[in-house]
Amino acid sequence: MRVSPETYYYRLDQRGTQVGAGSSAIDTTTTRLIATDFVRLAMPWGKDTSRYQARSEARFTRALSLQDFLLKVEGDLAPYLLRGVVQGEGKSRTLQVTTETLKRHPAASEYDIAGLVFVPTTAPLPLMLGKEPKTGSTLQIGIFDPVSRSIRNSTLRIEKDSLFMLTDSASLDSASGRWVKAHQDTVRGWQISGGVPMSEMWVDASGRMIAATAPSGISVLRTAFEIAFENWRLDQSPLPPAHTAATPAPTRR
């Protein structure tokens, strides 16, 4: 499978208002693939706003076999750190997961692995890269759910395809002081169902997310870095200090 290194940026909205920004990057070396995801949110909660950020990194072989992952969550939520490492070979593999939280001893769990296992954001990759995308195509994989700390055996399916007009560059509007779209590109997307973390999820031919809707009602759309992160930064006060060192927003590539 050929995976091209690329970084994409996303605007997160709820009921028409931006509530966050995110990025998703894939880097490749001669021996492995590294998927890095970052999200920063400021969610209204009654009269208050709940802020948090999460950063994850997962490493795979070039054949998309998971080697290890790290997920760090901090902010107003109780911060925690998840570490996962795959041990063994062939059908005798296990995924060992350690959860680290403040003032508690690390908790460890172990899961048997029968086939391919992915973290949620990388789950569509093998379905889209294995062969030419086609409506009705399916693939059985395992997806590690960091919320429930479990592996779900899922059957991913391509439901339909559509065209998207995506902003890929931005310019600064001198009148408003905000970034606006400078150029758009047409990208074909495919809707994926069956175990993906979103209630609706569209990906491109490489399996990278284009748009999605979360069960919470948050919508996600790929856009330019400035529109995702810079415009939102103009509207936000700095993230309050967390119990662990803050993770900076991703720099533009």
DSSP secondary structure string for all residues of 64-84? --EEEEEEEEEESSPPEEEEE
Looking only at the bridges linking them, the beta strands covering 117-118 and 138-145 are parallel
Closest Cα partner for 147 from 106, 107, 105, 119? 119
- Which one-letter DSSP state was computed for residue 214? -
For 10-23, what is each residue's pLDDT tens digit? 999 998 899 999 99
For 36-53, what is each residue's pLDDT tens digit? 999 999 987 777 888 889
Residue 127, pLDDT > 80, answer yes
Q: How far apart are CA 51 and CA 77, in angstroms?
A: 8
Domain ranges of the chain: 6-235
pTM tops 0.85, yes or no: yes
Q: How far apart are CA 195 and CA 148, in angstroms?
A: 13
Mean pLDDT of the residues in the chain: 88
Highest-confidence segment of 171-175, 238-242, 248-252: 171-175
